Structure 1
């Protein structure tokens, strides 16, 4: 029975959850600048509610990006600090994959689904990636990208869903299609965790690094090497 702690601070919403087998405890709080001050106390409170000491966890799952630079730094530093103290591995998860997973749940979990996942990148741009759900697993169909809303291309197919937090901000500048508001929730991270864990995505605590798309030079050499060591999703180059 897996025991996980998961959190995401990549957007203006702080989402965290813990799971013990099929039982889940979750909390949603304001994110942004507040996340750095509230994340650790909220984590400890949620673990106490669940009766799960930090050291009893299998891993700490976190949204590694893309997203807010400050938010990603917060998530990585907290994941690293907690995991080092409790001698736990960490499980980094792409935030756009979590958006796709949240959209899949809202779409009533069809047998197959293609999701164009998008997050607001500010500066008049969006982060985007295309994922395919089939045979109970996700495959990445396109590289993660950042660019103007008008440049986002919708994949061809009858079961395509556009998902993310970009629709209010960019509206008609986005391509047309069936849309659903979705964020990279901690609950989505928990649903993704077992398959990613089984596929070898867990890394030591000191390799909890953010995934940037817009600004690759912001990463240190150690961060770039750590990201190269993380195995790609099936179908990812």
Structure 2
């Protein structure tokens, strides 16, 4: 199985090459440089491994949620490469990718969050099962004060992602009695995306390139002036 993965939904840009269980990755926190870096990194990874593009079985992509521009770019890159090679695309939730990078030694229940700006966070709850993940709830975009853990047996969770740093760490403060650990600096990585995508490909979850769609979770990309004033007032 040979798979190329693009994850650009946050300020981190990363590309990974999955080769029969082995993963090579380029990763950098590089706001506004994703379009400049992603394809050259992909070519470099393939060259280093001695693999031609035509040898790839599929292209993986972090479908979001995340920054609108970054998500659109990732989908466009994956579709462009896949269409040129006549290969399928494996879209994977960026929140699942983030959860997959959580500490293996931590609790198996993982709350993955990304700062969505505009006073909101993207949030998804997952359960680690062996080398895979199971979603415990639908992914949402909502205010940090509205995030709740799914009903369960009261076990501990670990939190990952920049949503825990949003609103002065409100989410971590609210859920601190249930969280064994929090990594508020964690960002999704293409290496984790590649591993999840390889498993998804084996399950038959790849789609035709033109069917790969972004997961924005919300339609509006900016607050109106009235909404901005209301948000500022709520923070006083």
What interval of TM-score do these two structures reach, taking the shorter chain for normalisation? 0.7 to 0.9
Cα deviation, residue 198, structure 1: 2.2
Q: Does 1:179 align with 2:178?
A: no
Distance across 2 between alignment mates of 1:179 and 1:23? 28
- 2:141 is the alignment partner of 1:146: yes
**Shift in Å at residue 162 of structure 1?**
1.1
Question: Partners of 1:99 and 1:215 in 2: how far apart?
Answer: 22
Q: Which residue of 2 aligns with 1:47?
A: 46
Deviation at 1:216, TM superposition (A): 8.1
Classify 1:170/1:216 alpha carbon distance in 2 versus 1 (closer, same or farther; 3 Å).
closer
Q: Give the deviation of 1:51 after TM superposition.
A: 1.1
1:203 is aligned to 207
TM-score calculated relative to the size of structure 1: 0.83
1:35-184 aligned at under 5 Å gives the runs 35-103=34-102, 106-108=103-105, 113-134=108-129, 136-155=131-150, 156=152, 157-174=154-171, 175=174, 176=176, 177=179, 178-180=181-183, 181-184=185-188
Indicate how the Cα distance of structure 1 residues 158 and 90 shifts in structure 2: closer, same or farther if over 3 A, else same. Answer: same
Deviation at 1:32, TM superposition (A): 3.3
Question: Structure 1 residues 204 and 6 mapped into 2: Cα distance closer, same or farther (>3 Å)?
Answer: same
Secondary structure at the aligned position of 1:32 is classed as: coil
Deviates further, 86-95 or 21-30: 21-30
Matches of 2:165 and 2:99, distance apart in 1: 18
Distance 1:39 1:16 in 2: 6
Q: Distance in 1 between matches of 2:130 and 2:49?
A: 32
Contact kept, 8 Å, 1:11 with 1:31, in 2: the verdict is no
RMSD: 2.0
Q: TM-score, normalising length from structure 2? A: 0.83
Residues 1:67 and 1:16: Cα distance change in structure 2 (over 3 Å): same
Equivalent-residue separation in structure 2 for 1:116 and 1:30 (angstroms):
22
Larger gyration radius, structure 1 or structure 2: 2
Distance 1:11 1:135 in 2: 27
State the distance in 2 between where 1:76 and 1:188 align.
17
The alignment of Structure 1 onto Structure 2 pairs a total of residues equal to: 212
1:12 aligns with 2:11: yes
Q: What corresponds to 2:24 in structure 1?
A: 25
- Structure 1 distance, partners of 2:78, 2:147, is 32
Deviation for aligned residue 1:38: 2.0
SS at match of 2:133: strand
Give per-residue Cα distances to partners, 1:117-141, cap 9 Å, x unaligned: 1011111110001111235542211
